[in-house]
Structure 1
Amino acid sequence: MSVSMINAQSGENRSNDNADLQIRRLSPALGAEISGVDLGAFVDDATFSAIHDALMEHQVIFFRDQDMSVERHLELAKRFGTPTYSKKLPKYDGNDYVSLIQSNGSTINVGGRWHTDNTDFKAPPMGAVLLCEETPSLGGDTLFANMYAAYDSLSEGLRRHLDTLVAQHDNSLVALRFAGTEFVGDGDKGMSVGPAVEHPVVRVHPVTGRRALYVNSSYTRRILGVPPTESEHLLNMLMAHVMTPDFQVRFEWQPGSVAIWDNRCTQHYAPNDYTEPRRMRRVQIDGDVPVGVS
């Protein structure tokens, strides 16, 4: 099924009433669906404050049946921070700050393993706003996982140990996975392997102050300051741990669905389980340098 979202109404004659906003939790772990909001219209301060608070509480929020132009998409992302171009994805209609995620299901898909976006950056993205334009008739969902819960469920002794550790992240595994595919971005260096960066294994969220496990299978290469074998075994255990179903919510996309996630305290995974077109429009939002436990 598909719907054209490209030439949506400007939203100039549409408005939001914060009194209509409703929030429904989708799982015990994380995720909520917000209704009563028209993202294709101007989002006033009170409505945005409610959306932002919901994101901080639920970590990923979803909207249905949205008719949102590229301009409104960018405006909404700017309320959270500065939009930034993702070199790993093609540009959407040549727009410098909007990316295209598209697959017909016959080749490797972007996001097809558990990850936090771009932790190979010194300052990884704060999050992203993703709009669905076309979905397969079956499959193509996205799963999100709660990294607060992943951390909290570990033993106290292991948490104390992880609080002291730093890990190295780079793009080598992603570059290898997508070599020769269409997911190479618009720049010559879209999938090149840049210098490694270091992040705390446990990140303190800059808004909530909560601790989140901050290693992922796409970008984390090794834990520093421990023997290689210890690093390997510890990372393998943590990578398996974050996939625990108790930490997850699964979202079934429809044309016009929108997801906004907090990249600082979640991971996500898009199964490659479909054989029909799937098309998404994405705006990534700049983040800050992760801070560990002091």
Structure 2
Amino acid sequence: MIINNSDDFVLEILEFHKYTKDKLRKLLLKNKLLVLRNANLDFAGFDSFSNYFGVPEVAYPYKYQALGFETIRLQSNVEGKGMNGGGMYWHSDGPQTKEPSRITLLSCEEAPLVGGETVFCNLSQAYSDIPEDMKLRIEHLEGNYPCRQIYVDDLIEMGLEPETEIVNSLHNLKHPLVKIHPISGIKALYLNENWLKGLDGIPKEESDELLKYLYDFATEKKYLYYHKWEKNDLLIWDNYSLMHKALDLDSQYPKTTRRIRIKG
């Protein structure tokens, strides 16, 4: 039963198990973010369900994989229950691969009483609303993504040892500033406050000014949805259309999630 569609890109669903995988895929394509309530899935169920949407990626860092399930990454601010830190900046998942992650599934095992919301930004609508002269200016620009160095720096900052296998697989990449959805053909901005380090072929001052304009424009309140987590929530979102970030959380309020990303 669909119970809410208060935002133009968010659809809240009860009894999701009554929907076929084809129907869920169509709803995701249309709405960009699905909020499935009371989705009480164990590791095996979560892993199996993710295949509705494509081929899951191998999760890393490896030490935070769920035991027996290499596609599930455990995340928590409770010591020993998962990876803690990261993600508190605007981003779409998977920029470190030539074809970034297409879809992300995030399941909540333990929800905080206060804080820890995840904010989503509708980048396809933001792009649609950008003035035409700005669209022409950014249409063919590419962003620089020094993926290996960013990954290593991020893990060191979290006190983790980067895995040699993963580090060696990462390279400097360029991604278009405007992406075209492979199914709908709809255009959207492609931004990342951590991994995107300037625009290719553009002087730094001009690049910084242009990116600031785009971040400021895209993150206006009308393009945002704040998700307050409840236990057994399962969120599914389209990385071609949205970016997101986690909000800060006091350590006294436990939050534990499980993440699967789908290959682009």
TM-score, L = length of structure 1? 0.80
CA distance in 2 between counterparts of 1:189 and 1:218 reads 22
Instruction: Confirm or deny that 1:181 pairs with 2:158.
Output: yes
Where 1:249 maps in the other structure, the secondary structure is strand
Contact persistence 1:126–1:262 (CA under 8 A): yes
For residues 166 and 228 of structure 2, the distance between their equivalents in structure 1, rounded to whole angstroms, comes to: 29
Q: CA deviation at 1:192?
A: 7.8
Alignment check: 8 A CA contact 2:126 2:188 kept: yes
Structure 1 position 188, deviation (Å): 4.2
- Contact 2:47–2:69 (CA under 8 A) maintained in structure 1: no
Residue 214 of structure 2, aligned match among 235, 238, 242 = 238
Q: What is residue 199 of structure 2 aligned with on the other side?
A: 223
The match for 2:258 among 281, 286, 292 is 281
CA spacing shift, 1:98–1:208, aligned 2, 3 Å = same
Amino acid corresponding to residue 39 of structure 2 in structure 1 = Q
Q: Which residue of 2 aligns with 1:92?
A: 66
Question: Which residue in the other structure is 2:107 paired with?
Answer: 131
Partner of 1:103: 77
Q: Which runs of 4+ in 1 moved over 4 A?
A: 182-185, 188-193
* TM-aligned CA deviation for residue 146 of structure 1: 0.5
The residue identity in structure 2 corresponding to 1:280 is T
Matched pairs, number: 258
Q: Map 1:205-224 onto structure 2 (within 5 A).
A: 205-224=181-200
CA distance in structure 2 between the aligned counterparts of 1:249 and 1:183, rounded to whole angstroms: 32
What is the root-mean-square deviation of aligned Cα atoms in Å? Answer: 2.3
Residue 30 (structure 2) aligns with: 57
Name the CA shift for 1:26/1:151 in 2 (closer, same or farther; >3 Å).
same
- Pick which of 111-120 and 221-230 moved more: 221-230
Once the two structures are TM-superposed, the CA of residue 161 in structure 1 deviates from its matched residue by: 1.5
Q: What residue number does 1:112 align with?
A: 88
Q: Structure 1: any 5+ residue segments left out of the alignment?
A: 1-20, 288-294
SS at match of 2:7: coil
Q: How far has the Cα of 1:181 moved from its partner?
A: 1.9
Return the offset for 1:227. Answer: 2.1
How far apart, CA to CA, are the structure 1 residues paired with 2:85 and 2:217?
Answer: 23
Match of 1:35 in 2: 14
Identical aligned residues as a percent = 23
Gaps (5+ residues) in structure 2?
Answer: none
CA distances 1:95-137 after superposition (whole Å, capped 9, x unpaired): 21111111149x9722111111121211111111111001222
Question: Aligned pair in 2 of structure 1 residues 241, 75: CA closer, same or farther (>3 Å)?
Answer: same
Instruction: After superposition, give the CA deviation of every residue in 1:44-86 in whole Å (9 maximum; x if it has no partner).
Output: xx62222111111111101111221212211111121111123
* Residues 1:123 and 1:267: Cα distance change in structure 2 (over 3 Å): same
Give the 3 Å change call, closer, same or farther, for CA 138–192 of structure 1 in structure 2. farther
Are residues 222 and 27 of structure 1, via their aligned partners in 2, closer, same or farther at CA, if it must alter by over 3 Å?
same
SS of equivalent to 1:224: coil
Question: Shift in Å at residue 23 of structure 1?
Answer: 5.0
Name the structure 2 match of 1:290. Answer: none
Shift of 1:174: 5.3
Q: Which moved more, 1:55-64 or 1:67-76?
A: 67-76
**Counterpart residue number, 1:202:** 178
Q: Select which of 221, 226, 247 maps to 1:271.
A: 247
How far off its partner does 1:274 sit? Answer: 2.7
**Superimposed CA distance per residue, residues 239-270 of structure 1 (whole angstroms, 9 cap, x where no aligned partner):** 22222111111111111110001111110111
Indicate conservation of the 8 Å contact 2:2/2:11, yes or no. no
Summarize the Cα distance change of 1:92–1:51 in structure 2 as closer, same or farther, 3 Å threshold: same
Secondary structure at the aligned position of 1:26 is classed as strand
For residues 197-241 of structure 1, give each alpha carbon's deviation from its aligned partner in whole angstroms, at most 9, with x where no partner exists: 111110010111110001221211111122222112112222222
